Every structure is written in C-alpha cells, then in structure tokens.
Amino acid sequence: MFNKLSPVPVKIHLIRVERIGHLVANQLEYFSKLERGLLPREYRFFVYQDHPSNRVMLNILKRNMRIVPALLPLYDVCRKCGGLGVISREFFSTIGFDTDKYLFKMARRFDFSPREMEEAKSQCRALGLDPEKPIVSFLGRDEVYTTKLGAASKHFFRNANVQTLVPAMEYLADRYQVVRLGSAAKEPVKTDHPNVLDYTFSGRRTELLDVYLSAKCRFFVSVGSGLDAITSYMFRLPVLYVHCAFVTAVASYEPNACVIFKKCWHKAEERYLTMSEIFEAGAGSSTSPEIFDPLGIEIHDNTAEEIVAAAREMVARVEGTWVETEETKERQERFWVVFRKYWPCNAPEVKIADIFLVNNPSWME
C-alpha cells in the first residue's frame, strides 16, 4: 500500500555475491546506470542469498549501498507472492559488453578505509612485501578453481597452466615485487626468484589482501577472472590479459589494458584459424567445449615466450616508454577492422599486444 501511495517506492533487490567478479562488476554496473539516470526513483535496499566471496569487498560496497541481510526473509516472502510491489527486478546481470566504457566514466566512489589500509600494509609486511614499493599481481585459473565454482566443463577453456606465467613473473621480478594471487589452485608456481611470492600457497591469504593486492598493484597480469574486476573496473589500473579465450570480451576491456589470445587450431587442416574464421565458426564469444569439439578445434594456450614478450611490452606501456609507430597503429587498426565486422563496437582503446599481432598475422585476417 505504501508503494502505491508514495512517489518514491521502497524496493528490495537481490545481488550476486558468490563470485568476486560478479560481486564487483554487477554493482558497478548498477552505479553506472544510476549515474546516467537509467533507473527509476526508488528507495533501494539490497539483500543476498549466497555466502559472500569476499566480505571485505562486501563491506566496501556497503559504504555506498544499503545492503541489509536482515531483509532477506521479507524479500523471499514478496518473491513467492508475486513481488507485492516490493521486488521489481533482480540485479543478476553481468556487466555485459561495456563497449561505451561507461564503467570508466563514472565517478570513483570506492576505496579502503584508513583502518583497512593500515591493516593491509601490516599484512603485506608480514609476507615480506614492502607496500611502498611497486607490486605486479598475477592471477591464473585451473581446474581446481573451476571445480570449486561448479563450472568445470563450461569454463574449461578459460583455464591455463600457471607454470606458463613463471618466466614472465621472473622477468618482472627483476624490477617489481611479483605476487601470484588466487583462492584455489592446483599447484604452486615453480620458481626460486626472491621477488616472486606465491601468495596462494603462502598460508597467509586473507580477504583483505585479496582485495588490496588487486587494487594497489602497478599493473595486473590475468587470464581474465574475478579478481581483475577490482583492478580494472573499480580501481581502473592497467591489466595485461593473457591466455584470453573469450575473444569478444576484449571490446569491453578497460582503456589501459593489453591482450593476447589463445589460438584455435584446426585439427583436420593442421593450421590456426584466422579471426574471421573463429567468428564464422561461432567461437568468438564462447569458451565451451560444446562449440569447439564438434568443429574439430583445439584451443592452444599462449606460450611462456609469448607471455614474456607481452609483459615486456606492458612494462613499456605502463612506464611511458612505449613508442607508437605507423606500423604498430596499422596493425591495431587491421585487427579492429576485422573484429568490428563481426562484433560491432565503438572505437576501442584496449591494445592487442603488438608483438602478438606481428607473430600471429591471422588475427588481422
């Protein structure tokens, strides 16, 4: 009755919290829509059903959202009774393809509290990290992580062997502190470099450091998984995406990102598919074996050498020493001309690693 009479109705919305990527990105999408006036006037409360993937991040969001778990029983009653005018939609959507970069245009509203910052730096020191010196964070994912999520088969091709990241870790560790992140993994990284920390297997993982090391790094090297949403969408820091299997996702990556792709090997013809062929096969926006297997396509990970080369280029871009030439610009344009033929989008600012395009011209065909 109140909502029928009030010019500003009270609404309860359900949010996703069980995966860190959705916890971060879905809420940022909400604020982006709110800033652009795309949502109706409502006095909103938010509830969640699942175990939060990261309570520190949930608390950061709570400082900007009315997240009230005690209202979940009322939400459930209203849902079972058809909404009762209290439930209008569920904020379950992903950020989708943010090709207009709205998430990067919205006001910055999230950060650590002074107490959280002090505690995070203390935890860094306990790990042997100097929080005042630059850190590069790495994130891989394998079958242990995807099995934990209950999505092993659907997201199989997003996995990668973490050892392929080690040479790039060691290269970067000569100038940065390097930290391997992740909540669950098959094995430790195999390196003796004193500046590489396998935080995943350190025995000192905390939800605060998971967020802090994603938010305060010089840049992030990721295979494209939940934590990098903190780096890119929330704190707008550079990300180097490697082992990228989801080709169309690149259109929504942040302006200061750099990408290299997994490659599609045609077993019968014994060659790699061109980007046009990948799209025409329906594989440009899929990471599912149900698409690739019937087509006789194998997905090949990036080699360690490709990742080192991309990391070297990323350092130059981040440190401001990268030199853009007419040839490098032409290669970027050739990639995007083909890409936009199959997946229309505004002019992207994300860069495909130039060394990848040089060595894989089929991605410009």
Q: Determine what percent of the chain is predicted with pLDDT higher than 90.
A: 59
User: Mean pLDDT lowest for which of 30-44, 45-59, 152-166?
Assistant: 152-166
Give yes or no for a contact between 185 and 143, defined as CB atoms under 8 angstroms apart.
Answer: no
State pTM to two decimals: 0.92
Least confident of 50-54, 239-243, 251-255, 355-359: 251-255
Kindly state the tokens that stand for 322: 């990268």
Q: How far is CA 178 from CA 10, 168, 182, 241, 275, in A?
A: 47, 10, 13, 16, 33
Q: How confident is the model at residue 90 (pLDDT cuts 50, 70, 90)?
A: low
How far apart (Å, rounded) are the C-alpha atoms in residues 309 and 288?
Answer: 28
Residue 200: what pLDDT? 94
Evaluate if residue 11 carries a pLDDT over 50: yes
- The string of pLDDT tens digits covering residues 141-187 is 877 766 666 655 455 677 889 999 999 999 999 999 999 999 888 89
Beta bridge partners of 137: 179, 220
Give me 145's structure tokens.
Answer: 């992580």
Averaged pLDDT of the chain: 88
CA dihedral 353, 356, 361, 362 (to 10 degrees): -100
b/e map of 84-117 (b: 16 or more CB within 10 Å)? eebbeeebeeebeebbebbbbebeeebebeeebe
* H-state helical runs in the chain: 2-5, 20-35, 55-62, 72-80, 102-105, 114-126, 143-149, 166-173, 207-215, 228-229, 275-280, 289-292, 304-319, 326-342, 354-359
Q: In this predicted structure, what is the pLDDT of residue 347? A: 67
Beta-strand pair 135-139/43-47: unpaired
What is the pLDDT averaged over residues 223-234? 90
pLDDT band at 217 (very low <50, low <70, confident <90, very high): very high
Comparing C-alpha atoms, which of 3, 19, 21, 23 is closest to residue 11? 3
Residue 115: CB partners within 8 Å, gap ≥ 6?
none
Q: Quote the tokens at residue 121.
A: 């730096």
Q: pLDDT-based confidence at 205, cuts 50/70/90?
A: very high
The count of residues in the chain is: 365
Tens-digit pLDDT profile for residues 310-329: 999 999 999 999 999 999 99
pLDDT value for 67: 95
